[in-house]
Structures are given as structure tokens and as C-alpha cells.
Amino acid sequence: MTIRHHLSDQLLMGYAAGSLPEAFSLVVATHVSLCDECRARLASYDTLGGALIEAQGQVTMGEDALEAALARISGTAQATQRAPLRAAGIFPAPLADYIGSDLAAIRWQPIGMGVKQAILPTDREATARLLYIPAGVAVPDHGHRGAELTLVLQGAFADANDRFGPGDVEIADEAMQHTPVAMAGMDCICLAATDAPLKFRALLPRLVQGLFRI
């Protein structure tokens, strides 16, 4: 797999610091599991974070700090006894472990023109969804009221910015207006995360976007 479009430093630092919404963290973790370059960059930020923590001065601990720490260690030990993460079909290990199924078990919701989605359970700060776009089909032209990360899992799509294949991430913001089109040959499946509704130009998508949470 040749990955041409990577995560930004800001996203990797946010993931390392634990400050991203759950939906964005899921996209980052899934991409990092596929991308040697971003995994190495993330490791450097983890190392930097550890060094910064060590450089902090001493902090007075509460009387129950030891008991609380031991309780958390005990809970972590139990959690790590489960089976190791494994990929499931086109789903890399972090995503497969998160949704607990493979492609055949996904319950798709049609949203028009053959496009389907499956919204994943995450916190309310942002929304994560799987998108299924038939080969040759275009997603309606739209802009963004916030940030959007789109990670390709199968097939490919293209817009005015570039072509995005398996493992690639497109990072969209409020300045981007585009019309993604799934490339011919294979249906495109993506993992996408948004923190605000899209801005559609056409009337019909605007009318139904509240129903489909897009």
C-alpha cells in the first residue's frame, strides 16, 4: 500500500495529548495502523510529551493518590488481557476492534444515489461514519462548517484537490468546497469524521441532511 496523503502534525500532536474528539481519534488511530511514516511521527510526539512531563516540577499528592493509582492499574491490567487487535477484512485493527465486526455485518443506511452510511457510536464532540460510495458516483458538491477527516479503506475517490486511495487521508476545513467522486473499478469505502454539519449547495441535500446527520 502506497500512502500519499498523511495526517497533519496538529492532528498527531492532538492524538498524542489525548485532546481530539473520539471520532477524530478513531480516524487517526486507524490511519496510523496503516502508515509507517505517521506512526514514526506519532512516536516522536509521544516521546516529547513524556519528556515534558518529566520536566515538570513536583506536585503534592492527595492522601488517596496511591489507592487511586493502584485501582487504575488493576483495571488496565484486566482490560489488556483481552485478545490482541486484529484486522477484519478491509477494516484495520483499531477500527475492527472498535466496531466489532467485518464489512458483511455493517448495517448500512441508504442516503441517496446508491451512497450508504453507517454512523458509529462516539462522543458528541464529533461524528464518525463509514461511507459506501459506488464506483463512478459523486457525493453532492459541499463545503464545511468545521473539520472533516476522510480515510479511504477500499477503492479510491478524487476531487478538485487530488486522488485519494487506500490509506490516504483527506483533511478538509471551512475553506474547502469539493465534489468527491468514487473512481471507476471498485466501490469506495471510507471512514469519515466531522465536527460540524456540511454545507450543501443543492436544495435536496440540505433538506435531508438533518435526517441523516450529515
205 contact partners, CB below 8 Å, separation of at least 6: 140, 142, 214
pLDDT at 173: 94
* Residue 115, all three cell numbers: 451512497
The rounded distance, in Å, linking the Cα atoms of 108 and 102 is: 13
Q: Beta 109-112 vs 115-120: how paired, if at all?
A: antiparallel
**List of domains in the chain:** 1-214 (2.60.120.10)
Burial of residue 52 (CB within 10 Å: 0-12, 13-18, 19+) is exposed
Kindly report, residue by residue over 132-180, the tens digit of the pLDDT: 999 999 998 999 999 999 999 999 999 988 999 999 999 999 999 999 9
Kindly report, residue by residue over 180-201, the tens digit of the pLDDT: 999 999 999 999 999 998 888 7
Percent of the chain with pLDDT over 90: 62
